[in-house]
Structure formats: C-alpha cells, structure tokens
Amino acid sequence: MAAIADLVFFLVIARAVFMLARGVMEGLNEGRPPAPPVTGGQLVRDPVCGVYVTPSNALTLPSGTGTAYFCSEKCRQAWRKP
Ligand SMILES: [Zn+2]
C-alpha cells in the first residue's frame, strides 16, 4: 500500500504548492497600481514615468505622432534627451 500513500502525499504537496502560487499571484495583483479613473475628462499617459495626467495640467512637447504630455519638467527633459 506504499504506492497509495506516496500518491496521497504527492497530492497534498501539489495542492499546497498550488495554493501558495495562487496566493503569490493574488499578492502581485494587489500590488499593481490602480487603473486610472475613466470618469470625467480624458487622461493622457506620461510616456516617461507612466503616470496619468490631465492635459490641462500637463506639460507638453510636440512629438511625431501628436503631442506628448508629461507630469513634470523632469520627465519632459528625459523624453527630450533619451
Ligand atoms: Zn512623469
């Protein structure tokens, strides 16, 4: 009957690993930055740091595809000089 005991042991370990992995995945999901609010005016994404800003408050710089928006002068400088 050793084979059945080994199988049960394996299943218990596999389940524990699965539960642990799922817990880690959920932890990673909780660590994600919140999605930008979609209500109200549109938001634009700072291509340097990834922060969402409102165009009226953002610093701008003309780019090949239109206008790039930045949260700060630091990001705009970084975009201008990669
Ligand atoms: Zn920025």
Q: Mean pLDDT, 10 residues at a time, over the chain (82 residues)?
A: 86 91 83 60 91 93 90 95 72
Instruction: Report the separation in Å between the CA atom of 47 and the middle of ligand 1, taken as the mean of its atom positions.
Output: 7
Instruction: Report the separation in Å between the CA atom of 82 and the middle of ligand 1, taken as the mean of its atom positions.
Output: 14
CB 50 within 8 Å of CB 79: no
Check residue 77 and give its pLDDT. 95
Check residue 75 and give its pLDDT. 96
Check residue 58 and give its pLDDT. 94
* Sequence-distant (≥ 6) Cβ neighbours of residue 67 within 8 angstroms: 60, 61
pTM of the model: 0.49
Instruction: Report the separation in Å between the CA atom of 70 and the middle of ligand 1, taken as the mean of its atom positions.
Output: 5
Check residue 30 and give its pLDDT. 73
Instruction: Report the separation in Å between the CA atom of 64 and the middle of ligand 1, taken as the mean of its atom positions.
Output: 19
Check residue 29 and give its pLDDT. 74
